[in-house]
Amino acid sequence: MTVPTQRIELRSFGKGGIHPQTRKRDTASSPIEPMVPLPSEVWLPLIQHLGEPATPLVKKGDRVIRGQKIADGGATGSPLHATISGKVKPIDKRPHPTLVTVPSIIIARDGDAEEEFPEDPAWRETPHAEMLARIRDAGIVGLGGAAFPTYRKLTLPPGVNVDTFILNGAECEPFLTSDYRLMLEEPEAIVEGALAMARLLGVKRVLVGVEADKMPAVESLRTAARSVPLGEQTFEVVPCEVRYPQGAERQLVTSLTGRTIPPRSLPSAVGVLVQNVATAHAVYHALRYRRPLLDRVMTVTGPGVLQPRNLRVPVGTLLQTLVDACGGMRVDTTRLIAGGPMMGRALPRLDLPVIKGMNGLLLLTGRGPLEEGFGPCIQCGRCLDACPLGLEPDQVSVHIEAGRTLDTDPFGPLDCYECGCCTYVCPSGRPLLQFMQVAKSALRRATDIRVKT
Ligand code: SF4
Ligand code: SF4
């Protein structure tokens, strides 16, 4: 990671945010390496996207090859593909990183065969409906973490227009470098994928937000953009202030365009559509080669792992296999997190599969913040200053402690996108993000009940 040596004006958002240590040094210079050998088994949950669960097209005992479609996405979901070649085991419930257990297709590897994906030389002229179909058939979902099917995000509702396509290369979460390495190593695919999605939307302006501690990635994308035909489109890579959560959609839209997304609205409300760099990379391969999403680049890092690395792994690979490929885990590892330390999800175990929306595995040592307990609110106001949305997590927390959870609505829990800035700055160690989650779910339940009665 490098910071710019000459003074350049860095774009940023207005309110809130924090400056945690980026901790990316362990893997920033680790090239993306393939998983060798491929895992002996993968678990492919039928739910790893937003939308209806996928429906299996295979059964126990079937032989499948890598790249073969094995589950249909239905009207709102996303299909699944075999990520290794082998035999299908019984389709049953297996542990899932976010949903406890989910019906999953298990494949035991018995070879290295792979479907062929010949190039479509005229791919840039693909009609829009066919582009959407290829993206849908490839099983691509938002790879920045949301896992919303990409073909749905690219299908704008009637009356909604966008004039700006934003490519999110901020990767503001500490520790993670998978997007950074992809921008350095395969920038042409990212640029082409972004331009293609913008063409699909009829958008001429493409902006890319990259935090300024990743200037090699800025240069890499700029160089790549000079080698692809732009036509009437523009492609601008914009260095942004290193400030968490720069990569949150709301913040990045403001940083790059000066526009403010209204509460509980999508970026399209201000004429913008945002996609992550890894999604653009997958879209390029789907359009040019009809290649489905089979692999994810994962940063495996943190003080608990012996050899931090960036690995390209088949979706469905067990996390234990990743840790083994990185030399194993230190005995004093205390916490496992899918993703980064700010917005990642704590995991209870390593016999869980990599799912499409996952971009890192973090192994931490030492005591977690909540194990120390927490004190009363001393009304210092730091959480108010840190919240990028201007919410009041202090008020939410004291109302919950007083047993008035349903009175927290005016303080914003339903708008909270769980960035964790408030928890990070609180001198009393109060778990403010968790208080926001409790309030949000109680308010949502209460609203459901009121609607039903
Ligand atoms: S977690 Fe929610 S309340 Fe806390 S800073 Fe982020 S958006 Fe604001
Ligand atoms: S940062 Fe903590 S102590 Fe300070 S106002 Fe917020 S909740 Fe209270």
Convert the pLDDT of each residue in 176-217 to its tens digit. Answer: 999 999 999 999 999 999 999 999 999 999 999 999 999 999
pLDDT computed for residue 98 by the predictor:
82
Q: What angle do CA 410, 411, 412 make, to 5 degrees?
A: 95
Question: Are 342 and 175 in contact, with CB atoms under 8 Å apart?
Answer: no
CA neighbor of 82 nearest in space, from 52, 55, 43, 133: 43
Chain length of the chain: 453
Query: Please, what sign has the CA dihedral across residues 305, 306, 310, 316?
Result: negative
Query: Can you tell me the mean pLDDT for 128-154?
Result: 94
How many Å apart are CA 396 and CA 374, to the nearest integer? 15
265 Ramachandran zone, left/alpha/beta (phi>0; psi -120 to 50): beta
> Residue with the nearest Cα to atom 3 of ligand 2?
377
Q: Average pLDDT of 53-82?
A: 95
What does the block give as tokens for 109? 């590897």
Q: Domain-by-domain residue ranges, the chain?
A: 25-31+119-289, 373-452
Interval between CA 435 and ligand 2 midpoint (Å): 12
- Over the stretch 21-66, which tens digit does the pLDDT of each residue have? 999 999 999 999 999 889 999 999 999 888 899 999 999 999 999 9
d(CA 76, CA 52): 6
Q: What is the pTM of this model?
A: 0.94
Q: What is the mean pLDDT of residues 295-307?
A: 97
**CA-based end-to-end distance of the chain:** 55
Q: What is the pLDDT of residues 230-269, one digit of tens each?
A: 989 999 999 999 999 999 999 999 999 999 999 889 999 9
Classify residue 187 by its DSSP letter: H
Structure tokens given for 299: 């940063």
How far apart are the C-alpha atoms of 365 and 362, rounded to whole Å?
Answer: 10
Pick the residue whose CA is nearest to atom 2 on ligand 1.
Answer: 416
Residue 430 beta carbon below 6 angstroms from any ligand 2 atom: yes
Take atom 7 of ligand 1 and give the residue whose Cα is closest. 416
**Average of per-residue pLDDT values in the chain:** 94
| % of residues, the chain, pLDDT over 70 | 96
- pLDDT for residue 453 is more than 50: no
The average pLDDT across 321-336 equals: 96
Lowest mean pLDDT among 50-54, 88-92, 164-168, 170-174: 50-54
Identity of the highest mean pLDDT range in 144-153, 320-329, 367-376: 320-329
Output the CA 383–ligand 2 centroid distance in Å: 6
CA of 415 to the centre of ligand 1 (A): 9
Q: Which residues pair with 149 in a beta bridge?
A: 141
Residue 51 phi/psi, 5° resolution?
130, -175
Q: Could you name the CATH architecture of 25-31+119-289?
A: 3-Layer(aba) Sandwich (3.40)
How far apart are the CA of 382 and the centre of ligand 1, in A? 12
Separation of CA 400 and ligand 1 centre (Å): 16
Mutation pick for ligand 2 pocket among 387, 391, 394 (CB with most ligand atoms within 8 Å): 394
Cβ of 380 below 6 Å from ligand 2: yes
Instruction: Name the strand (E) or helix (H) holding 9.
Output: none
**How many CB atoms are closer than 10 A to CB 2?**
12
Identify the residues whose C-beta falls under 6 Å from ligand 1: 386-387, 389, 391, 393, 416-422, 432-433, 436
* pLDDT value, residue 409: 96
Asked if the model's pLDDT at residue 368 lies above 80, the reply is no
> What pLDDT sits at residue 415?
95
* Per-position DSSP letters for 58-69, written without gaps between them: --TT-EE-BT-E
Say yes or no to pLDDT of 119 above 80: yes
Q: What SS3 class is residue 426?
A: coil
pLDDT digits over 390-413, tens only? 999 999 999 999 999 999 999 999
pLDDT of residue 321 exceeding 90, the answer is yes
Identify the bridge partners of residue 109 per DSSP, sorted by sequence position.
86
Count CA within 13 A, CB hemisphere, residue 443: 21
Counting ligands in written order, the one closest to the CA of 431 is 2
- Which atom of ligand 1 is least distant from the CA of 245? 6
For the cut 80, the answer to whether the pLDDT of residue 3 exceeds it is no
